[in-house]
Copies of this chain bind each other. A is one copy, B any other.
Amino acid sequence: MATATVTIDLNAIRQNWQKLRTISSKDTAAVVKANAYGLGVKQVAKALYDEGAKIFFVATAEEGAELRFILGKIPEIYIFSGHMIDDTELIKNHNLIPLINSIDQLSRHSELLKEKKFGVQLDTGMNRLGMEPMEWEAVKERALSLNPVLIMSHLACADDPKHKMNVTQLNTFRNLTNKINIKKSLAATGGILLGPEYHFDLTRPGIGIYGCSPMKDCLPVIKIDIPVIQIRDIRSGETVGYGNTWTSTAKKRIATISAGYADGIFRVTGQKTKLYFEEIGCPIVGRISMDLIGVDITDLNVEPDKLELINSQQTVDKIAKCAGTIGYEFLTSLGHRYNRYYKGVSK
């Protein structure tokens, strides 16, 4: 079998969420957008729901409808992109809660779904989603008369605790929501770690649940094993892979493994990245192809059937760094071709 395997540990996901819940001052939601950060919303959301999560956030109404189907009627499901054109039926039929981002969206929601719950997203400086302070001042009274169930914003620099933007956004959020007696939310994983003044009534952890930075002391969630197709001995001076970019400087033993950039192992991932056999790291050599990678296994005294890409020694954060990106992107880029096994499935 030449198909690689991702093993996803639902117990680790549950424990990471519990840890974030323990740190949070009041309620704790779970962010499961982008197919639960690439790990499978069906399994992940169910595991978190069984663990006690009753409030979920996704990016789009389509994701919300899928999540409602998975979790049933009880949980609250918030939609970050709000109430877009042609979202009305999905929001109504699946009882979703759009986070209204603009005056346009407020008008749309109040005209088309007057009786349906909504939240308000405010921009406190990230300039990405949410009403600007001036927009909010203009429609605050009208919006509040419609009884929003949540007012939220999002931090731009929470991964860096010392960034002055954090306090700026905190103060802006306080000013914009001053004297408003509605449930409030500001913090995702990074914000939770900034301290209780950022927590308000509801935190919204995402990446920490999935075992990545900036969360600390969390449990790793995934493991990736890749089959070895064949092993060859090469002489000094021989090249490996496309474009002859790597030339051997000695006699080497090269394994060709069955995964590549079509599986989300970014092509820019460099030779700092290793494949592991037990404790021994074996560097990638040559260019990563669509379905294949060359690995220098000269240091092994066995011929392995498979090698590990993600394990306790090479975490998601570490391989992401080797590719010049962040753990979030490695997770959401995992391809469709893996065998996916789930450990700790709920009864």
Residues of A whose CB lies within 8 Å of any CB of B are 1-3, 33-35, 37-38, 59-63, 80-82, 84-87, 101-102, 104-105, 123, 125-129, 132, 156-157, 159-160, 163, 165, 227, 229-232, 234, 238-244, 254, 256, 258, 261-262, 264, 266-268, 286, 289-292, 294, 305, 324-326, 328-329, 332-333, 335-337
A33 touches B156 (CB 8 A): no
CB distance from A39 to the nearest CB of B (A): 12
Shortest CB-to-CB span from A96 to chain B, Å, is 12
- 4 A-B pairs besides A2-B59, A156-B242, A268-B324 with CB distance below 8 A are A2-B62, A127-B286, A333-B333, A336-B336
CA distance A264 to B335 in the complex (A): 10
- Output the nearest chain B residue to A84 by Cβ-Cβ distance: B2
Q: Are the C-beta atoms of A267 and B336 separated by less than 8 Å?
A: no
User: Do A129 and B243 touch (CB < 8 A)?
Assistant: no
- Chain B CB count within 10 A is highest, among A81, A101, A159, for A81
The answer for the CA separation of A238 and B332 in the assembled complex, in Å, is: 29
Q: Which residues of B contact A227 (CB under 8 A)?
A: 84
Nearest Cβ in chain B — how far from A253, in angstroms? 11
Asked if B84 contacts A229 (CB within 8 A), the reply is yes
Please measure, in the bound complex, the distance between the C-alpha atom of A242 and the C-alpha atom of B188, giving whole angstroms.
13
Residues of B near A63 (CB, < 8 A) are 337
Partner of A242, one of B101, B157, B231, B258: B157
Interface centre among A86, A262, A266, A328 (most CB of B within 10 A): A262
Which residues of the partner chain B approach A157 to less than 8 Å between Cβ atoms?
A: 242-244
Chain B residues near A101 (CB-CB < 8 A): 229-230
Assess whether B1 is in contact with A258, with CB atoms less than 8 Å apart: no
Could you jot down 14 A-B contacts, CB within 8 Å? A1-B61, A1-B62, A1-B84, A2-B60, A2-B81, A3-B62, A33-B291, A35-B337, A60-B337, A81-B291, A127-B234, A127-B240, A129-B256, A156-B244
Contact A258 B290 (CB under 8 A): no
User: What are the 4 closest A-B residue pairs judged by CB atoms, nearest first?
Assistant: A34-B262, A2-B81, A262-B332, A59-B291
